[in-house]
Structure 1
Amino acid sequence: MDLKIINSLKKNSRASTSEISRQVNLSIPAVSERIKKIEQSNIIQKYTIQINREKTKYKLLAFIFINTDLSESMEDFKQAILKHETVLECHHISGEYDYLIKVLAEDTSDLEEFISVTLKRIKGIQKANTTIVLSTIKEEINTCKNIF
């Protein structure tokens, strides 16, 4: 039942408890209590929106693979990445690279400035490889299969 409620909230995080109760066939108080418990257990960390990038000035999505020197400058790297709004996501990964960041820019010159100026100033970065997204087939905020 919790999974049904979460999936309903995924589709519309602004859905009323009444609306969700109709969708999952459960009473309003029961839905409200389950949502409260899911939030308290930190399964739902925050409510957010999904923006249509094509309707904004930020249309260029890119992924940047980064190799670092894995030294004491790692904390500097993490702090620098956290403060840049251009960076949507940052993941420590296995394989050829150490980190993968997802960035959103206005255009190629905005992306170039981020790579050439911002990234080059971050201590610890040895190498970066950028891949530009041509189109997006699927992009989900979270996927909930059987999490319980």
Structure 2
Amino acid sequence: MDSFDYKIIKSVMTNGRVTWAELASQTGLSAPAIADRVNRLISNKVIKELGAMVNGESVGTECTAFVTVSLERPKYREDFLQLVTDLDEVQECHHIAGEDDYLLKIRCRNTKDLDRVVSYEIKSLAGVLRTKTTIVMDTTKETFCIPLQKDKFNKIGED
């Protein structure tokens, strides 16, 4: 990856609606060259997805919660991961170190819906030892942007 890729990634992260023409203007590359680079970054899984961050309240998804999950044994991991992959309400799933095994970010309609997801979907799965739920009262910051490390990008002409 080079400094052009850096500029493209930074721009796409902060504005998912940026056009190839705008990126071309920012980088000095042609629009077709930008399209090729973005497609390469996607196929190489540098850019995971292009999408929109939706305001949950405006679409009826008002409850956000973080749920830690502890599994009884590692043999239950595959079924658990399949369940969280299949549940639309689970927005994120992280394998963590410490007392618990997983941290989930769950978005749903309300606390009753959250109870359904946690009690009847997650806790009812064989091997789930315990869960701990923290309900979000208010969100100050939520972003797709991650810090980019400039040293991971070569200068133009370097390989």
- What's the TM-score once normalised by structure 2's chain length? 0.83
Hey, what's the Cα distance between the residues in 2 that align with 1:55 and 1:101?
Answer: 22
Task: Name the Cα RMSD after superposition.
Answer: 1.7
CA distance change for structure 1 residues 144 and 37 in 2, over 3 Å: closer, same or farther?
Answer: farther
Pair 1:24 & 2:27 matched = yes
Q: Which moved more, 1:16-25 or 1:117-126?
A: 16-25
Q: Return the alpha-carbon distance in structure 1 between the equivalents of residues 119 and 44 of structure 2.
A: 42
1:65 aligns with 2:68: yes
Partner of 1:97: 100
Deviates more, 1:57-66 or 1:22-31: 22-31
Q: Is 2:58 the partner of 1:55?
A: yes
Percent identity between matched residues is 33
Number of the residue aligned with 1:121: 124
**How many residue pairs align between the two structures?**
148
Partner Cα distance (2:53, 2:27) in 1:
23
The superposition leaves residues 64-99 of structure 1 with CA deviations (integer Å, 9 ceiling, x where unpaired) of 011111242221111111111111111110011111
Give the aligned partner of residue 49 of structure 2.
Answer: 46
Q: Is the 8 Å Cα contact of residues 63 and 111 (structure 2) preserved in structure 1?
A: yes
Corresponding position of 1:36:
39
Shift in CA distance, 46/119, structure 1 to aligned 2, threshold 3 Å: same
Match of 2:157 in 1: none
Distance of aligned partners of 1:30 and 1:74 in 2 relative to their CA distance in 1, 3 Å threshold: closer
**1:40/1:120 Cα in 2 relative to 1: closer, same or farther (>3 Å)?**
closer
Unaligned runs of 5+ in 2: 154-159
Secondary structure of residue in 2 paired with 1:19? helix
Query: How big is the shift at 1:25?
Result: 3.7
Q: How many Å apart are 1:144 and its aligned residue? A: 4.0
Report what 2:138 is aligned to: 135
Query: Against the structure 1 CA distance between its residues 37 and 79, is the aligned structure 2 distance closer, same or farther, given a 3 Å change threshold?
Result: closer
Using structure 1 for the length normalisation, give the TM-score: 0.89
